[in-house]
Structure 1
Amino acid sequence: MQNAKVQRFIKEGRGQGTGSEYVPWVKTSDYSSKGRATRIRGIKTKRIHHLHSDNQLRAFFMFEHSDAVLDIRESFPLLDAMEVIDDKDGLRFDKFTDSEGSALVICTTFLLTVREETGEEKLVARSVKNTSELTKKITLEKLEIERRYWKARGVDWQIVTEKQLPRQFCNNIEWCRETLLEEMKESELAGALLSYIKNNPSIPIKLLFSEFEHKQEIEPGQGLWLFRYLLAKKCLEVNIRNPINLAATLEELK
């Protein structure tokens, strides 16, 4: 039987909906987090995402950056775990209870909707954990419940650790995506800068900004903002897994 808190969460719509309508089961205001909790507006979903660690934030950046990912649902509750999982041998549901003995709701960090190369859409589940957590028995028992749940539902499930979340790549995505949160009013300027950079692949990017700003009679710094926007829109062939050195040329950044 569901306790009052679970019933309240369900009534609030938590764990339900998709896209901008989805409400995560756990919000940053609900519990204290060992990591740095973050509320961040999603570009694809047009809603606020509630993330509970730096690793979750980096994973979110990577998922959002991927063209294959269509929707991101964080803190997805396995409310029907007891019904879905047929093979319950060895699963310790009894360990996941509150102080009053009521069952806690187990959540998977991310449930993604992805589009395959064939154009078909499917669900993908990812549990984000630090490698240090994988030495804890309670963590492994929770992950085993998740594994069997998603296997029973026929959904690909994997564990993601900090080893699959390169910091430089994620930092670069964060640096670029900020420009997408603002309404783009300089689309013509962005296109002009794109042509200017492509036509001068051997001139340092930083120098091109100054020349472009002078020619267009725009404020200093606008060239850098437009460059970040172009990277976010994937208009430039730049390897954003590496540090973005503005003293380098476009050729050197590839």
Structure 2
Amino acid sequence: MARGRRLKSYLDYENALGDGIGVGYGQSYQPWLRAQDVKSRGNRSIVFGLKTFRNHHLLSSVESNFFYLAEFNDSVIDIREQFPLFPLRLTQQIANHLHFQHPMVRGVRGVPVEVLNVMTTDFLLTLRTPEGGLRYKAIAVKHNESIPEREAQKLEIERMFWQLIDVEFQIYVGSELNNVVGKNICWATSVLRDGSEFYDKYPLDKILWKLKPDVYPIVGLRAMISSIFGVDAQEAMMLLQAMIGLKMINVDLS
């Protein structure tokens, strides 16, 4: 994993923005914080996005779980993680209004002064509406519903920031069910993320022609794929994963 970058002064912020960090969308977006930049409370990961065609930096297992759920949602067309809340003066004004201390960077390069820390939202989603328009949703990911007082204060600053610019804000708390669904999506889509696109050489529609509307066990589908294409059980399972990941067949992911 590459070396972390240090953003500890206003000059650092200006340079980062000048380098395109925290701005843009789709493939061009660069998160304000990367997996190597922070100490994480959970398992950090870097996952290639099937919709954005770039690496996503996820700072905990709960963030990873939410990412898979969001990406698998047909309405979601873009995912921007670790999204910075600019301008700083707005989050500062909100904090002052609420009588909360704004998050600070302390001891900048050894000098005992305080610098406003850039707040971030875990995810900013772009969604396609049924009418064909776009809307945005900001997501804060939390490990559980018990939130310490200081964390709750920062969440309120974050919530008001998005409210002021008319963007829906939601707190996502992981659950056992969502964890199972997220892991299954991760499993199904893993074969789509390695860049090999091995499944393109197989006419997967041929399998659909042979399937009647019914409920099929995984082992039965795997055996059918193996028979149709003359592949072993392992490759048949990978093709089945691809079909699930591409939503060619509907499965109960729970």
Does the pair score TM above 0.5? yes
Corresponding residue of 1:24: 31
* Distance in 1, Cα, partners of 2:177 & 2:157: 24
Supply the RMSD in Å over aligned alpha carbons. 2.3
Is there any run of 5+ residues in structure 1 with no aligned partner, and where?
242-254
User: In the alignment, is the contact (CA less than 8 A) between 2:138 and 2:168 conserved in 1?
Assistant: yes
SS at match of 2:77: strand
- Decide whether the 8 Å contact of 1:194 with 1:230 is kept in 2: no
Correspondence for 1:157? 169
Match of 2:117 in 1: 104
The residue number in structure 1 matching 2:190 is 178
- How many residue pairs get aligned? The number is 238
Counterpart of 1:194 (choices 208, 214, 236) is 208
Q: C-alpha distance in 1, partners of 2:71/2:216? A: 31
- C-alpha contact (below 8 Å) 1:147/1:157 kept by paired residues: yes
Preserved contact between residue 14 and residue 24 of structure 1 (Cα < 8 Å) = yes
The AA in structure 2 aligned to 1:155 is: V
**Greater shift after overlay, 12-21 or 174-183?**
174-183
Aligned to 1:12: 19
The code of the aligned residue for 2:187 comes to W
Per the alignment, residue 244 of structure 1 pairs with none
Matched, 1:78 2:85: yes
- The structure-2 alpha-carbon separation of the partners of 1:203 and 1:29, relative to structure 1 and needing over 3 Å to count, comes to closer
Q: Tell me which residue corresponds to 2:180.
A: 168
- Percent identity of the aligned residues? 26
Contact 2:145 2:173 in 1 (8 A): no
Change (3 A) 1:80 1:165: farther
Scaled by the length of structure 2, the TM-score of the pair is 0.84
Per-residue Cα deviation, 1:38-74 (whole angstroms, up to 9, x for no partner):
1111110000111100111001001100000000000
Q: In the alignment, is the contact (CA less than 8 A) between 1:91 and 1:141 conserved in 2?
A: no
Alignment-derived partner of residue 53 in structure 2: 46
Secondary structure class of the residue paired with 1:186: helix
Matches within 5 A, 1:197-212: 198-199=211-212, 201=214, 204-212=217-225
Asked if structure 2 preserves the Cα contact closer than 8 Å seen for 1:179 and 1:229, the reply is yes
Once the two structures are TM-superposed, the CA of residue 190 in structure 1 deviates from its matched residue by 1.8
Could you tell me how far 1:108 is from its partner in structure 2? 0.5
1:145 aligns with 2:157: yes
* Structure with the larger strand share: 2
Residue deviations 1:189-216 (CA, integer Å, cap 9, x gap): 32223333x2484764414433542443
- Asked whether the 8 Å contact 1:3–1:102 carries over to 2, the reply is yes
